[in-house]
Structure 1
Amino acid sequence: MSALLMRETDRLERRVLGAIEFLDATTRTRVDTPLDVRMDGARLLRNRRGLYVITHAEHPLLALHADAFETAPVQPVLGSVAFTLLVDDRSGRYLPRSVAVTLPRDPAPANAGSPASLFRPIEVPLYPAATAPVGLNWSVLRVAVRDSTSGDALGGVLLIVTSGGNTLARGLSDWRGAALVAVPGVPVTTWSETPAAVTVNEINAQIEGVFPGSGGTRISAAQLSSGRAPLALPQIDPEVVESQRAALPRSTQAVTLATGRRQSLFLVLALP
């Protein structure tokens, strides 16, 4: 029997530059519904797992990575080339946001466990819109964010719920200044901090609102009542805002959380 002869006529091999995984900010589960994802200067492809793979970047040195397999180029330095990714959920369940992405990722197999590894997707939390569904046992805060002087509705405000030095949840306000912050996992009963009681069914917390340096919006009461959305919706990078919060306009308010409790509150910020 003669051996079967095969001839290679074409080969397509490319090294990808990374992947993005979008997560529900409340449940930390993957967002499987298709999203509108754009990154200037790069091409992305959604694969069957729901990851958005960075297949190409328009940078002269990063282009060399596409065809390098056994040994990755030493230039540019890891994480030295910055891109801005924009994501929008057309279904309206999640709010739009931006993400700072730095390339190249670490290609060393020995470092596969590192968050900066090429073999791990970049995790990006998406924050729920004010009308998003909530869990039965979550503690839910519905927040209206306003400017203290004008009463303008403030969009793109990062909301952070903390208790005892721990961050419990985060959220974003939309262009109407409306935000949904869901806090899952609040204990039905927990140990009391006061000597008179052994257990309690609620915990003391605080919610902090941080107005971004750019990307936030201010909408007057007249425009808000008309229902006319601005041409540019808030689209901020929450991680960047949180890292700069000490230098940005912010305000805090005490709240009490309990399993299954729904609360509505106003949060007022003084903007320059």
Structure 2
Amino acid sequence: MELKKLNPNSHLTAKERDRLSFPARILFERDVLKGEVLDFGCGFGKDVDLLSSKGVSIVGYDKHYFPNYPTKRYDTILCIYVLNVLLPEEQAIVLMELSQLIKPTGKVYIAVRRDVVYEGFRTHKIHQEKTYQCNVVLNSKSFYLNESCEIYEYQHCNQIKRSPNLKCPFCNPDSESKLIVESATAYAIYDKYPVNKGHALIIPKRHYGDYFELTFKEQSACMFMANKVKEIITTRYKPDGFNLGINVGMHAGQTINHVHIHLIPRYKGDVDDPTGGVRGVIPEKQRY
């Protein structure tokens, strides 16, 4: 079932206000709203109006109330109390969208509630419809925290040192590498030595060599991301097919001891006879 059918009333949690939301006020007072700013999931857009009146160059996007999807990247993005009303799969989609909309050296400030007592669906007091809410914990830097709110500061993973495994190119990816998309658990980049145009790698953030020793959550996050990367590559390069593959162990051809999934676009005529596909890892067994 489509996610929008599972959680159709998330937009009903938007509130009418006559003042800045608490997270927006904290961010404005701390002078972090730099350059061109996007309020992602802006609801009725009151923070956009009030911050604009204070001289911030800001626009808003909301799937329900301001549905014109952004067509460029921003220096700063706000995402205030959005993730708390979304299912986990929806949260992952939003995080991936934010990673695509922020400039390579920009910052995203994600505010989540810290006073959610009851997780799950409940009847909204005003609208009398079922709405969802949950607690959210991210692995980004905590910028601000009190008893009711936490604000995370997100940057592309290749702009910060995330691990002491300094020799691992996937724990600390090159800051010049082009990030395709990122979530809390994984990220995707284009292969440095592509087999075909658009060849991408989906990489879990936790340093582990064996795909089968990842947690189910990590495996699921990688495959969920593979679907998103496939959409991006399809739009950008229009391939005729794909190979999806994972090398596990030296004898299977793994050369970097950090899990990575190859998503390789295929094009008509890129080999004389593609019959057998991934069976070609053992050439004499490819055709049968």
TM-score (norm 2): 0.28
TM-score (norm 1): 0.29
Pick the structure with greater CA Rg: 1
- Greater share of helix: 2
Greater relative contact order, per chain length (Cα 8 Å cut-off, separation 6+): 1
